[in-house]
């Protein structure tokens, strides 16, 4: 085996090395993923059931408040399915951004004591939330069955907007992770911003209640495209609107590019502050 050489003078190609690095380190990523899943649920009463329960509880709150108002405003689909589908997707986005952005802070004790590529922790954080997302599809499907909503053939493809919104979240999270080490309140501000981002798009309200003059503003938000295509595949049985796919691909790719650049440039420098 070749002797590994670390030369501090050789830098700069790291952004491009992330892909092969991940493949090389897949076993370590697997262990980290397992650690994150276990440490999240091991000491709780309900364990993994929390994953299923969380979106349901949130849904229950919204449902109690809004079901009377919006009952007839979501044509073609019961309000509860409309609501839960929106929550499941927007929560994947919110939690991925937050999980990746805090991945350096959360692993401070390890990162400040041994050399491990920083991005492995971000990937593991995102992986946990993708698992959560897949698990939360179970109650969603259950509600579709209960309410008699037809399950179209396009349903398994919901993983496409799911994966793309996860990439968007990872990209934004990577860009913010170094800042979250530098300033602790970045995380707080981010939580608020993500909450607001969820209200700016039709998650729990139908777009039809938005005054026409503000609708364009909502539709220009990339998150709108993710929600539309997700719901289209989930219960609409269509790839409508086609333009959403271009928006999703574009924003996810742009976020990943900017995020990896910022992260590889500033991430290692922030380790001194951990």
Partner 1 sequence: MSVEPPISVSGLSVAYRLPEHHHSSVKELAIGAVRRQLHWRMLWALRDISFELAPGECLGIIGANGAGKSTLMRVLSRVLPPTHGRVVVRGRVAPMIELGAGFTPQLTGYENLVLYGALLGRDPRDMRRRAQAIAEWAGVSEFLEAPVRTYSQGMQARLAFSVATDTRPDILVIDEVLAVGDASFKRKCVERLAEITSQGTSSVLVSHQTTLLRNACQRLLWLDRGRIVACGETKPVLADYERSMETAAQAGRQIPAGTGSQSAAAG
Q: Which residues bind partner 1 (CB under 8 A)?
A: 3-9, 11, 27-28, 30-32, 34-35, 38-39, 42-43, 109-116, 179, 182-186, 189, 268-269, 271-273
Min separation Cβ 270 and partner 1, Å: 10
Asked, as a colleague might, if the bond just before 59 is cis with ω within 30 of 0, I would say no
Three-state SS letters, 159-180:
HHHHHHHHHHHHHHHHHHHHHH
Min separation Cβ 112 and partner 1, Å: 6
Contacts of 23 (CB under 8 A, 6+ apart): none
Asked, as a colleague might, if the bond just before 241 is cis with ω within 30 of 0, I would say yes
Return the number of the residue (34 or 71) whose C-beta is nearest partner 1.
Answer: 34
Mark residue 194 as left, alpha or beta (left: phi above 0; alpha: psi -120 to 50; beta: remaining): alpha
Return the number of the residue (185 or 214) whose C-beta is nearest partner 1.
Answer: 185
Min separation Cβ 266 and partner 1, Å: 11
Return the number of the residue (87 or 186) whose C-beta is nearest partner 1.
Answer: 186
Min separation Cβ 223 and partner 1, Å: 23
Return the number of the residue (121 or 235) whose C-beta is nearest partner 1.
Answer: 121
The DSSP call for residue 24 is H
Min separation Cβ 271 and partner 1, Å: 6
Return the number of the residue (36 or 228) whose C-beta is nearest partner 1.
Answer: 36
Return the number of the residue (57 or 114) whose C-beta is nearest partner 1.
Answer: 114
Buried b (16+ CB within 10 A) or exposed e, 206-243: beeeeeeeeeeeebeebbbbbbbbbbbbbbbeeeeeee
Evaluate whether 181 touches 101 at the Cβ level (below 8 Å): no
Min separation Cβ 187 and partner 1, Å: 10
């Amino acid at each position: 085996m070749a002797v590994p050489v670390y030369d501090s003078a050789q830098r700069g190609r790291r952004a491009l090395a992330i892909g092969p690095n991940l493949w090389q380190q897949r076993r370590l990523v697997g262990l980290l993923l397992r650690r994150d899943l276990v440490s999240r649920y091991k000491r709780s009463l309900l364990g993994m059931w929390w994953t299923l329960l969380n979106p349901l509880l949130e849904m229950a709150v919204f449902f109690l408040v809004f079901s009377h108002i919006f009952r007839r405003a979501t044509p073609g689909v019961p309000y509860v399915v409309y609501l839960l589908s929106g929550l499941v997707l927007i929560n994947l986005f919110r939690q991925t951004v937050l999980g990746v952005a805090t991945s350096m802070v959360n692993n401070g004790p390890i990162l400040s004591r041994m050399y491990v590529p920083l991005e492995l922790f971000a990937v593991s954080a995102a992986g946990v939330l993708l698992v959560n997302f897949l698990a939360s599809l179970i109650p969603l499907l259950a509600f579709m069955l209960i309410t008699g909503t037809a399950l179209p053939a396009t349903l398994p493809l919901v993983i496409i907007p799911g994966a793309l919104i996860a990439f968007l979240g990872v990209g934004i999270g990577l860009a913010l992770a170094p800042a979250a080490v530098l300033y602790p309140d970045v995380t707080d501000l981010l939580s608020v911003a993500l909450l607001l981002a969820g209200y700016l798009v039709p998650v729990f309200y139908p777009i039809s209640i938005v005054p026409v003059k503000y609708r364009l503003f909502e539709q220009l938000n990339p998150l709108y495209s993710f929600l539309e295509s997700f719901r289209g595949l989930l219960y609409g049985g269509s790839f409508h609107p086609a333009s959403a796919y271009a928006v999703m691909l574009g924003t996810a790719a742009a976020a990943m590019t900017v995020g990896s650049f910022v992260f590889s440039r500033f991430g290692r420098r922030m380790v001194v502050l951990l």
